[in-house]
């Protein structure tokens, strides 16, 4: 992973660029930019991607797997990136299901997993990673929900060091997953996750469910037990810790 690199000074979105290149690109190709002018997050939200201060990258993988396995890649990436931040910056973020990494309750990293697939086979999986590294401040509308490694640690961290650590860990966990399955990654994910065992509020497209997060399944689905003891499978939602 990361042996082939497409580097751009400025791009609309590395994710969009990776989608365009995916069919031709070798597995493990990394698309990375200094700035995104139209970075995007989950649910078509914009992703603030100013120049030189963050990591804006997308990795193209081509696993020989059916499409329903794709959500696991968000969790594989979350574990790989959490450990990369620990190793390269010396601070340990927490994972908030499904795709956020937090420091002191604020977001430093978002992960966006997208697919190009036939009905029974993944053609390319495109993993977008956005990380706030050296920003000193955020626009007002983000100041309460976003932070950077610099703000939390009080020191700048070289972005290249973190990118290298991400590539290394992603390769290790991708290998682990393809060889031994999801077991070890799931265990690590659950140990790094803040929401497991806690009372949470899950806002899904069909409504809001409150309950206790029990864990994740092998498919990366969140299990939530409501106050009546009914267990819900959450495939996609925004999660808030219920105080």
Q: Does the footprint of ligand BTN cover residue 169 (CB under 6 A)?
A: no
Rounded Cα gap, residues 242 and 197, in angstroms: 12
Rounded Cα gap, residues 99 and 112, in angstroms: 7
Q: Does the footprint of ligand BTN cover residue 93 (CB under 6 A)?
A: no
Minimum CB distance to ligand BTN, residue 181 (Å): 26
Rounded Cα gap, residues 75 and 188, in angstroms: 10
H or E element, residue 20: helix 14-21
Task: Show contacts with ligand BTN in window 1-20 (CB under 6 A).
Answer: 13-15
Q: Is position 116 annotated in a ligand binding site?
A: no
Task: Show contacts with ligand BTN in window 123-162 (CB under 6 A).
Answer: 128-130
Question: For residues 94 and 102, is the Cβ–Cβ distance under 8 A?
Answer: yes
Question: For residues 69 and 50, is the Cβ–Cβ distance under 8 A?
Answer: no
Rounded Cα gap, residues 152 and 206, in angstroms: 36
Piece of 20-28, 108-116, 132-140, 230-238 that binds ligand BTN (CB under 6 A) = 108-116
Binding mask 39-58 for ligand BTN (x = CB under 6 A): xxxx--x-x-x------xxx
What is the total count of residues that contact ligand BTN (CB under 6 A)?
22
Binding site for ligand BTN (CB under 6 A): 13-15, 36, 39-42, 45, 47, 49, 56-58, 99-100, 110-112, 128-130
């Amino acid at each position: 992973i990361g042996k082939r690199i497409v580097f751009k000074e400025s791009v609309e979105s590395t994710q969009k660029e990776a989608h365009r290149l995916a069919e031709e690109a070798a597995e493990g190709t990394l698309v990375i930019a200094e700035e995104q002018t139209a970075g995007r997050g989950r649910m078509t939200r914009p992703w603030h991607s100013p120049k030189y201060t963050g990591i804006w990258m997308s990795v193209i993988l081509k696993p020989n797997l059916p499409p329903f396995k794709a959500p696991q890649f968000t969790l594989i990436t979350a574990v790989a990136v959490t450990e990369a931040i620990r190793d390269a910056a010396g601070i340990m973020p927490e994972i908030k299901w499904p795709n956020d990494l937090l420091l002191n309750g604020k977001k430093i990293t978002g992960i966006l997993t997208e697919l190009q697939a036939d009905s029974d086979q993944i053609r390319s999986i495109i993993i977008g990673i956005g990380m706030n590294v050296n920003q000193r401040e955020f626009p007002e509308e983000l100041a309460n929900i976003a932070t950077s490694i610099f703000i939390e640690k009080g020191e700048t961290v070289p972005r290249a060091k973190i990118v290298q650590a991400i590539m290394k860990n992603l390769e290790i966990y991708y290998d682990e997953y393809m060889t031994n399955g999801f077991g070890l990654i799931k265990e690590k994910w659950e140990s790094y996750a803040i929401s497991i065992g806690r009372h949470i509020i899950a806002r899904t497209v069909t409504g809001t469910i409150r309950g206790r997060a029990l864990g994740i399944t092998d498919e990366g689905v969140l299990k939530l037990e409501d106050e009546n003891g009914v267990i819900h499978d959450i495939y996609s939602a925004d999660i808030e810790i219920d105080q």
